[in-house]
């Protein structure tokens, strides 16, 4: 503040005296002065002192109003400065968190949903990208989880399945001899466990077994799939997507980071 205004008792007293003399010498002070000079009888003196008292009361209100207005303005200014400081602190803390913690997010590309594994249930294979806009960090291989919510309100937990040297899926209904082949290097658990750079990403697949989940319930458009994980250091992240989204948006154009980006003849890969 460029100018400081006194708001203590001394300042109030100075303002009171100044305003009282101003009132006495102004419109109210004129009749009081005339009566004080030309009339000296008792009743007239009483009128004079009453008039002077009125001037005093009026002059008291003026400095009180000025002082309280200044005080209120200063209090408002301090509150505004305090609020601004708190906002600056919050923004600064957010920047510090961004620089000192990982910030992972999941970007889905495609999925394979099936029931041809030797379990009583179904399975789900996801191909996605794990983006990181925070500090470099690795992801725990043991902390990945899948939750599947079906339209009947039930929820199922998926167990991660390790990709063997070669894992094959029959994905072509017209030509069953064609399908997808994935290798251990495509597994995102291995790629993310070595650390993801700031503003970097890791791409790969993740397979979950879903015991007890009927295949027809899994592939229903309304089924919601949520993958979650945890970075070294404790930061958790998750990505949520519906089966309908995969039907409408899946594409092979993102598969370039996979060992076999497209369908292959399965017999050429171990029968």
Overall domain count for the chain: 2
- Note whether residue 161 is domain-resident: yes
Same domain, 144 and 90: no
Token representation of residue 85 = 């400081």
DSSP 154: -
- Note whether residue 239 is domain-resident: yes
Phi first, then psi, for residue 43 (nearest 5°) are: -60, -40
Higher per-residue pLDDT: 130 or 76: 130
HSE of 176, CA atoms in CB hemisphere, 13 A: 1
Dihedral angle of Cα 48, 52, 58, 59, to the nearest 10 degrees: 150
Same domain, 95 and 186: no
- pLDDT band at residue 226, thresholds of 50, 70 and 90? very high
Are the C-beta atoms of residues 161 and 226 closer than 8 Å to each other? Answer: no
* Domain termination site, one of 99, 130, 147: 99
* Domain termination site, one of 74, 99, 124: 99
Q: Which region holds residue 85: left if phi is over 0, alpha if psi is between -120 and 50, else beta?
A: alpha
Same domain, 113 and 76: no
Strands (E), the chain: 104-114, 121-132, 145-149, 155-161, 166-170, 178-183, 200-211, 224-230, 236-242, 264-265
Range of the domain at 184: 104-269
Token representation of residue 182 = 């994935």
Closest CA to 121 of 154, 164, 168: 154
- Note whether residue 232 is domain-resident: yes
Same domain, 215 and 119: yes
Same domain, 16 and 72: yes
* Domain termination site, one of 41, 71, 99: 99
The model's pTM: 0.64
55-90 residue pLDDT tens = 666 666 666 677 777 777 888 888 877 776 787 778
Closest CA to 146 of 156, 136, 138, 158: 158
Sign of CA dihedral 113, 114, 118, 120: positive
Same domain, 75 and 108: no
- Note whether residue 2 is domain-resident: no
- Note whether residue 233 is domain-resident: yes
Same domain, 112 and 214: yes
177-192 residue pLDDT tens = 888 899 989 999 889 9
Same domain, 141 and 164: yes
- Note whether residue 197 is domain-resident: yes
- pLDDT band at residue 169, thresholds of 50, 70 and 90? confident
Same domain, 37 and 117: no
Same domain, 13 and 85: yes
Burial of 2 (0-12, 13-18, 19+ CB in 10 A): exposed
Are the C-beta atoms of residues 237 and 104 closer than 8 Å to each other? Answer: yes
Same domain, 185 and 138: yes
What is the C-alpha to C-alpha distance for residues 262 and 271, in angstroms, rounded to an integer? 18
Q: Which of 16-25, 51-60, 83-92, 220-229 has the highest mean pLDDT?
A: 220-229
Same domain, 175 and 121: yes
């Amino acid at each position: 503040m460029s100018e400081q205004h006194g708001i203590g008792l001394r300042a109030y007293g100075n303002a009171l005296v100044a305003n009282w003399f101003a009132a006495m010498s102004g419109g109210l002070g004129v009749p009081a002065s005339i009566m004080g000079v030309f009339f000296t009888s008792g009743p007239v003196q009483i009128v004079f002192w009453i008039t002077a008292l009125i001037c005093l009361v009026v002059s008291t209100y003026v400095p009180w109003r000025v002082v309280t207005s200044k005080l209120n303005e200063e209090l408002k200014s301090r509150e505004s400065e305090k609020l601004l400081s708190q906002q600056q602190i919050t923004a600064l803390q957010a920047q510090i968190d961004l620089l000192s913690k990982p910030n992972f997010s999941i970007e889905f590309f495609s999925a394979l949903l099936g029931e041809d594994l030797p379990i009583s249930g179904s399975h789900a294979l996801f191909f996605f990208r794990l983006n990181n806009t925070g500090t470099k960090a690795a992801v725990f291989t043991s902390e990945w989880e899948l939750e599947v919510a079906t339209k009947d309100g039930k929820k199922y937990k998926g167990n991660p399945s390790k990709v063997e040297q070669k894992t094959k899926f029959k994905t072509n209904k017209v030509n069953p001899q064609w399908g997808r082949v994935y290798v251990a290097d495509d597994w995102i658990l291995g790629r993310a466990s070595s650390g993801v750079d700031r503003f970097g990403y890791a791409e790969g697949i993740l397979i979950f077994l879903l015991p007890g989940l009927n295949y027809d319930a899994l592939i229903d458009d309304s089924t919601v799939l949520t993958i979650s994980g945890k970075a070294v250091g404790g930061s958790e992240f998750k990505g949520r997507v519906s089966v309908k989204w995969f039907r409408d948006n899946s594409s092979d154009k993102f598969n370039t980071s996979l060992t076999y980006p497209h369908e292959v003849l399965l017999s050429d890969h171990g029968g």
